[in-house]
Amino acid sequence: MKLELLHAMNVERGARRAAVLVTDLASGAQRLVKADQIANDDLGEDLEKALQSGKSGMIERRGTSVFVQVQVPPVRLVVLGAVHISQALAPLAWLTGFDMMVIDPRTAFATPERFPDIKIVAQWPDVALPEIGGLDRYTAMIAVTHDPKIDDPGLIAALKADCFYIGALGSRKTHAKRLERLQAAGFGEADAARIHAPIGLDIGAVSPEEIAVSILGEMILALRKKPLRQPSVSA
């Protein structure tokens, strides 16, 4: 592999853009196809499929074997709410490879003492989200503040950005009220259905740590069991 090619791959990853590296295994010839070039590529359909599944693999075309290395951005976890559950999530997210950051405008909650080694932004979501580089479909967003003033703008941003996992803490009753507010903001039922609430897999979790495990399990399920969504337009 040429160093320039590797550099180009690293640049795409650093900018959180997907790309595929195509290697002709017989000749060793390689090229990098960036996400926005896939549609016009000879192998466009195959590459699109690979990108959707996020899985690298061999494909046979015109009698030759090519290896398609899929590179999707590192998966991020944006947590709205610097609460006890978020503290429990931090080491679990690190362990499982999610790049976690915490947003909470309440400065008493969002402190480095409570979240060592985690990026914390003590701002309202409308200020904090641009600061962390925005949301995308390789980002999970969970809202755990219980305060609609903080949670709602984050959830709306996550729906618009097509985050692969969106979760919100709260009882069914709380969630019903939340859905009413989202409908008033112009979101339909299909959008609302994309919010996991009550949040987390039903493993009977009680403590903040157990709830963190149930949330993480549900996130991994969303990430691995189905392809990441194509960007789509919502309200």
> Residue numbers of the site for another protein (CB under 8 A)?
1-3, 6-7, 9-10, 13, 23, 25, 28, 55-58, 67, 69-71, 74, 97
Identify the helix (H) or strand (E) that includes residue 220. helix 208-224
Closest C-alpha among 194, 197, 175 to residue 235 = 194
CB nearer to another protein: pick between 1 and 176:
1
Residue 103 Cα distances to 5, 42, 68, 83, 127, angstroms: 36, 43, 37, 10, 10
Residues whose CB is less than 8 angstroms from the CB of residue 204 and which lie 6 or more positions away in sequence, other chains included: 210
Nearest distance in Å: CB 60, another protein: 12
Beta carbon nearer to another protein, 17 or 181:
17
Tokens of 173: 């009753």
* Contacting residues for 126 by C-beta, under 8 A, at least 6 apart: 153
Of 212, 198, 215, nearest to 89 by C-alpha is 212
Residues 6+ apart with CB under 8 A from 185: 152, 156, 235
Closer by beta carbon to another protein, 20 or else 155: 20
Q: Which is nearer to another protein, 3 or 190 (CB)?
A: 3
Give whichever of 19 and 211 is closer to another protein, judged by the CB atom.
19
Cβ neighbours of residue 189 closer than 8 Å, sequence gap 6 or more? none
